[in-house]
Amino acid sequence: GAGVSQSPSNKVTEKGKDVELRCDPISGHTALYWYRQSLGQGLEFLIYFQGNSAPDKSGLPSDRFSAERTGGSVSTLTIQRTQQEDSAVYLCASSLVASGTDTQYFGPGTRLTVL
C-alpha cells in the first residue's frame, strides 16, 4: 500500500515569506508526527497528533510554527515569516496510534531552504 507522502519535496523561499508543508499519512493511522532535521543533525521532534488533536505542542520552536490536521488524515505544517535558521528537512511520520511501541513510518521529507 501507499506509504507516507509529503509535498513539496523541495521548497525554496525568501526570508519573511510563509510556507506550508503537507503530509499525507498512511490510511488508517491515527497518529501523525512532525520532525525537523537540520544538516548533519538528529531529528528534532516538533508536534504530534492523535486524531485531529495535538496534545503536545511544546516542541514547536516558536509561535511562527503551527500545525493542523483535519479529518484525521492530512496534516499541514505552516511556518510564518520564515527565517534562515528554519532551513532544514521537515519529516512527517505516522503510526497506528501514538505509542512508543508502534512503528513510525516516515515520509521522504520536505527540504526547506530559506534564502
Partner 1 sequence: LAKTTQPISMDSYEGQEVNITCSHNNIATNDYITWYQQFPSQGPRFIIQGYKTKVTNEVASLFIPADRKSSTLSLPRVSLSDTAVYYCLVGTNYGGSQGNLIFGKGTKLSVKP
Contacts with partner 1, residue ranges (CB under 8 A): 4, 35, 41-45, 48, 50, 55-56, 58-59, 91, 93, 98-101, 103-109
Contact 114, 13 (CB under 8 A): yes
Q: How far apart are CA 113 and CA 97, in angstroms?
A: 32
Q: CB nearer to partner 1: give 36 or 114.
A: 36
Q: Which amino acid is at 100?
A: G
Question: Quick one: 84 or 101, whose CB is closer to partner 1?
Answer: 101
- C-alpha distances in angstroms, 108 versus 52, 56, 64? 22, 23, 24
Please say which residue, 47 or 114, places its beta carbon nearer to partner 1: 47
Q: State the minimum distance, in angstroms, from the CB of residue 71 to partner 1.
A: 21
Taking the least distance from each CB to partner 1, the nearer of 18 and 56 is: 56
Nearest approach, Cβ of 20 to partner 1 (angstroms)? 19
Positive/negative CA dihedral, 17, 77, 100, 109? negative
